[in-house]
């Protein structure tokens, strides 16, 4: 059975990172953009990271330029923006595509496992959120308009589950 731990992603610093590093953690995987109306959600995502990382939540940000060209910069500029504007300390990854034939394999898998509204596969916009349990399985997809702070209950429920489920 496939899980998020079967994938590797490139960090924003350019290093390949097997997601197996997060085995046993609850994951919140988000496609992000620096010039989007939802960009202030970085603040809420960082707050989730601060509040729950010691309990095993890992927020993982994946910049994407597929929606309105709202992430046109390179990784160094993205990292600088996230750190200086929103004090982001959760792991950020290199830019990816989340839809289409060039979609990162992680997102191709996520969208097949956690469907959107009316069963759609495609990610509709920046800041779509995928919440995964401690076994690396998608539990739920949240629309871009869902504020990170509204995920606390779902996150707390998953954090209370044992890592071996």
User: Would you name the residues annotated as active-site residues?
Assistant: 36
Question: Quick one: which of 42, 33, 30, 44 has its CA closest to 132?
Answer: 30
Q: What are 133's two structure tokens?
A: 């349990």
Please enumerate in sequence order all residues whose Cβ is within 8 A of that of 157, keeping only pairs 6 or more positions apart, or say none.
none
The DSSP line for 2-43 is --GGG-EEEBTTS-EEEGGGGTTSEEEEEEE-SSSTTTTHHH
């Amino acid at each position: 059975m496939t899980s998020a731990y079967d994938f590797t992603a490139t960090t924003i610093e350019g290093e390949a990172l097997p997601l197996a590093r997060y085995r046993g953690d609850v994951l919140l995987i988000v496609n992000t953009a620096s010039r989007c109306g939802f960009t202030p959600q970085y603040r809420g995502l960082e707050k989730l990271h601060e509040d729950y990382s010691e309990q095993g939540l890992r927020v993982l940000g994946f910049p994407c330029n597929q929606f309105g060209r709202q992430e046109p910069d390179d990784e160094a500029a993205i990292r600088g923006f996230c750190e200086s504007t929103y004090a982001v300390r959760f792991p950020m990854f290199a830019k990816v595509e989340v839809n289409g034939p060039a979609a990162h394999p992680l997102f191709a898998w996520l969208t097949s496992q956690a469907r959107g509204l009316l069963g759609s596969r495609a990610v509709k916009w920046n800041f779509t959120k995928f919440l995964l349990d401690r076994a690396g399985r998608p539990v739920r997809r949240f629309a871009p308009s869902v504020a990170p702070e509204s995920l606390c209950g779902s996150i707390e429920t998953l954090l209370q589950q044992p890592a071996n489920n």
